[in-house]
Amino acid sequence: MMQKKIHIYISAVIIIALLAVYWQVTGFSFINFDDNVYVTENFHVTNGITVEGIQWAFAYVYNGMFQWHPLTWLSHMLDCQLFGLDPGKHHLINLLFHIINSLLLFFLFRKMTGAVWQSAFVAMLFALHPVNVDTVAWITMRKSLVSTLFLFLSIWFYVDFARHPSTGRFMAVFLFFLLGLLAKPMLITLPCMLLLLDYWPLKRIRFSNARPESEGSSEDRAFSRIQVSAVSLVIEKIPLFILSFACAFWSSLSHGPSGLVTETAPMTLRLSNALVSYIIYIKKLFWPVELAVFYPFPTSIPTWQVLLSVLLLLCLTILFIYSIKLTRAFITGWLWFLGTLIPVSGLLQPGLWPALADRWAYIPYIGLFIILAWGVPTTLLKWRHRNMAMALLAAVFIVALSARTHFQASFWKNSTALFSRTLVVTENNQLAQLNLGLALHKEEGKIEEAIKHYIAVLKNRPDLPIAYINLGKAYKDIGRIDEAVSQYKKAIELDPSSYAAHINLGNMGFEKGRFEEAISYYKQAVQIKPNSVNGHIRLGFAYSKAEKYDKASEQFNIALKINPHSDEAYNNLGILAVKTRRLNRAVFYFKKALTINPDLSNAEKNLKNIMDSITNIKKKIQKIELELKADPDNIPLLFQAGKIYRQNSNFSKAIDIYKKILIVEPDSSEAYKNLAFAYARQGDYEQGLTSFKKAVALQPHDPQPYYYIACIYSRQNQTKKAVAWLKKAISHGYSNWSQLKTSRDLNNIKHTEYYKQLIKNY
């Protein structure tokens, strides 16, 4: 009972300490480094939990870069489903995951070793070490938190399996391992971790035909164990190794999201950096200062640093091997640390790769914590005041770490604070310069300061397209338009496949009313990134402004195929429907937009205007119908009613009205023309042709029917007939050259020599 109370007290202390140190993050913002890619600008995520989103998460290709961790995506989607884009709530979920992981780690080591206070010490170090701030305070690092949860659950069930082997328990280990890999592939080292735990603290390993070993220290005597050969333990984990190798292969295709284009460093440099990084991680364990979100990969490393690192690593390895006589915890912790860092050592570098990353130590540091908790005390067994001294040192160390963690976490409140700090503690950090410039520009409106940072980046990296793009955006926002265009074009010179540069040049053309120019750039942008919803919407909007309504509608519908929950696409389709006088369709689109986003004020305003317009039309129709009841053969009223019906896409009623006019006035050329328009708009081209030809017969000198007959034949792709009737229209005086040049009805004959010559002469 007393032991149960101790567990509760320790758990309470861990929770309270974490809330005291990290509660500040619940008031922090998203940052502009990967949070946009993972959450804020990722419509698959911001749409919440959807069938399309789940399908995407399990077959993920984003911006041409592969990132396969579906459970992490589902976690972000659930956040958006519950909280929208409230960053404080997203941060809170990260903190809750870290709290759960810290408690699980405590109970896991307590379960494996029987040692309460050492387990508590490991859990407190894990919970409160400043190196783990990145993982907790960065929303993008949800993948590490979720995967670690499943790692600990895998080990939990493995401990049960080790003591009481059964297929069911092993399947539980396999399942949680699989879930962990679905959250983040870094867990591929789990089978090796389990072998280390077999060695200590589970003590399952019997080498060769040796007799079972005697139990070691008091904590090792907490549980009885079944010892088996090392080979058998490896064989037992073959299914886990197969899963690891499969995931490693899958992840070898991975490219991380980044705005920087980097070349992979030579293998000798990567190896040197990995060796030096191990020593830096060890240093950070005891002296966690000058921490940063990104440490630039070095261009070179002094040979003496590499040699010294190799020497220190070898000495420590030999020391820990020698210390096996004292406790196996030394070598287990050391190999845990070395092994779990290998996947992120930089020997393989997909995308932008730092020299090292504090967030990568989230799991590896547990190995060093094991050494501190179990290894160090065994070296002081004969010291009389060991327990008191160790407790005091542990308390001081944890308090000092907590204070430093609270301080480090404060820099994550927004992008400006984070990257300002990063520039202070690192050198030649182009990523920090870029992101600080972006934060100053977009979040704080300090554009001139942002420009200084972009220029500073270009002095060191004149080959960086993203810097030119950001600089172009800044120049554009302060009215230096020509300079902005120049920057975008430089970006395209360096990277012809730059989606952002093409989109921004398209925006520049659009804002100046040069819609054809805008269309050209937008078309290139969507060719570069076919799954860009924004690209298709921008292209559709430009087509709409150029009065190419069919093409505009096509682009908006492509956007909806990519993202069926795009309120912007529905709103634009509604605007397009208004322009083409399909008011009822417009109402449908605006209502769809508002269903997706009730706060979309533009759609709400558009819907109100349309509903008012429909109401007014109904009133007009009601008034006309009342007047027609009194005077059913009133030709002007009938024409007025037919026009209203036709303009509002009620073609069947319009046709009935015009037929009624023709009963009263069978020689009305105007009635036949309007009847033909109604048939054509309804898609009944044959009836339309018949009616237009009757209008021609009644008024052979009127050029309009000739022109519209040409349009119908063009739509039917009867090129020769279309050209022949267009010639007749011109010969009878048709002179609407603007309509001739822009009409979509004539698209199928615009390639003919006659049409080209006609427009050229104009």
Phi, psi of 59 (to 5 degrees): -140, 65
| Domain-embedded: residue 52 | no
| Domain-embedded: residue 427 | yes
First to last CA, the chain: 99
**243, 173 contact by CB (below 8 A):** no
Q: Which residues pair with 65 in a beta bridge?
A: 62
Residue 303 one-letter amino acid:
T
Predicted confidence band of residue 223 (pLDDT cuts 50, 70, 90) = very low
Residues 176 and 300 both lie in one domain: no
Residue 577 one-letter amino acid:
A
**385, 289 contact by CB (below 8 A):** no
Nearest to 85 by CA among 129, 33, 32, 47: 47
Residues 283 and 423 both lie in one domain: no
Residues 211 and 198 both lie in one domain: yes
| Domain-embedded: residue 71 | no
Distance CA 539, CA 59 (A): 27
Residues 434 and 510 both lie in one domain: yes
Question: Percentage of residues in the chain with pLDDT exceeding 90?
Answer: 62
| Domain-embedded: residue 598 | yes
DSSP 448-478: HHHHHHHHHHHHH-TT-HHHHHHHHHHHHHT
Residues 371 and 421 both lie in one domain: no
Q: Which residue has the higher pLDDT, 301 or 247?
A: 301
| Domain-embedded: residue 674 | no
DSSP letter at 206?
A: E
| Domain-embedded: residue 73 | no
* Tens digit of each residue's pLDDT (9 = 90 or more) over 439-480: 999 999 999 999 999 999 999 999 999 999 999 999 999 999
Residue 749 clears pLDDT 80, i.e. is over it: yes
Residues 345 and 425 both lie in one domain: no
* Tens digit of each residue's pLDDT (9 = 90 or more) over 347-406: 876 656 899 999 999 999 999 999 999 988 887 766 767 778 888 999 999 999 999 999
**135, 379 contact by CB (below 8 A):** no
Distance CA 15, CA 246 (A): 37
Segment 684-689 long-range contacts (CB within 8 Å, at least 24 positions apart): 685/712, 685/715, 685/716, 688/712, 689/713
* Tens digit of each residue's pLDDT (9 = 90 or more) over 625-672: 777 777 777 888 888 887 877 777 778 888 888 888 888 888 888 888
**260, 353 contact by CB (below 8 A):** no
Q: Please compute the mean of the pLDDT values over residues 497-515 and round it to a whole number.
A: 94
A 10 A CB-CB count for 156 gives 18
Nearest to 725 by CA among 706, 712, 748, 739: 706
Quote the number of domains for the chain: 4
Cα of 289 vs its chain's centroid, Å:
31
Nearest to 350 by CA among 451, 464, 253, 231: 253
Q: Please compute the mean of the pLDDT values over residues 311-334 and round it to a whole number.
A: 94
* Tens digit of each residue's pLDDT (9 = 90 or more) over 521-563: 999 999 999 999 999 999 999 999 988 888 999 999 999 999 9
Q: Please compute the mean of the pLDDT values over residues 201-220 and round it to a whole number.
A: 59
| Domain-embedded: residue 526 | yes
Which element (helix H / strand E) includes 547? none
Q: What is the pTM of this model?
A: 0.84
| Domain-embedded: residue 638 | no
Determine the structural domain holding residue 318 and report its residue range. 259-379
Predicted confidence band of residue 208 (pLDDT cuts 50, 70, 90) = low
**301, 276 contact by CB (below 8 A):** yes
237: Cβ contacts below 8 Å, ≥ 6 apart? 191, 194, 195
Q: Tokens standing for 592? A: 């769809």
Peptide bond into 201 cis (omega under 30): yes
**353, 359 contact by CB (below 8 A):** no
Residues 587 and 572 both lie in one domain: yes
Distance CA 17, CA 23 (A): 10
Distance CA 37, CA 17 (A): 32
Distance CA 156, CA 137 (A): 26
* pLDDT at residue 213 in the model: 45
Q: Tokens standing for 255? A: 């490219």
* pLDDT at residue 224 in the model: 43
Which element (helix H / strand E) includes 61? strand 61-62
Residues 292 and 242 both lie in one domain: no
Residues 463 and 607 both lie in one domain: yes
Residues 587 and 467 both lie in one domain: yes
Residues 357 and 466 both lie in one domain: no
**What's the CA angle centered on 162, arms 160 and 164, to 5 degrees?**
65
